[in-house]
Amino acid sequence: MHPTITRMQDVIAKGDDTRIAGLLAEDVRFLPPTYFATWTGREPVAAVLGHVGQVFSEFSYRRVMGSGTDWALEFQCKIGELDAIGVDLITLNDAGLIQTFEVVMRPYKSVGALREAMNARVMTDPRFLEYRKALS
């Protein structure tokens, strides 16, 4: 298994955005399961993933599939009292850093709970006001 994928399994579950950032390419793209948009850039993506790590509980990876630069990591977790299953679709760049990170999840009710929890966290995190200004 690629060393970035091995480290990612430990770091993502802990929700520590300072450790997550070291795994990400400078121009990483993150496609969340909660809406059709893309977060771009190491700092904003690390912040989002850090919050996700705090929203999820009982998080664990069930299966890891892939080789080279393309990986799929199936996970299970809880969002509040709701169970969720998902897959992290990861593409690494030539330096072995995460270039693209896309998440697909089910069931619908759990994804809705994730969206609500993430919106509440983003609204109270001053970093996201800066990220929005930078995008404008």
Give the start-to-end residue ranges of the domains of the chain. 3-128
Tell me the two tokens of residue 15: 């929700």
The residue assigned the tokens 């109270």 is 124
Answer left, alpha or beta for residue 107, where phi above 0 means left and psi between -120 and 50 means alpha.
Answer: beta
Report whether pLDDT(131) > 70.
no
Report whether pLDDT(13) > 80.
no
Tell me the two tokens of residue 101: 């990170």
Tell me the two tokens of residue 91: 């593409």
- Judge contact between 11 and 92, C-beta under 8 A: no
| Backbone phi and psi for residue 96, each to the nearest 5 degrees, phi listed first | 85, 15
Q: Which CATH class is domain 3-128?
A: alpha beta
Tell me the two tokens of residue 17: 């955005």
Angle between helices 42-55 and 3-14 (to 10 degrees): 60
Neighbouring CB atoms inside 10 A of 39's CB total 19
What digits encode the pLDDT tens for the residues 26-47? 999 999 998 878 889 999 999 8
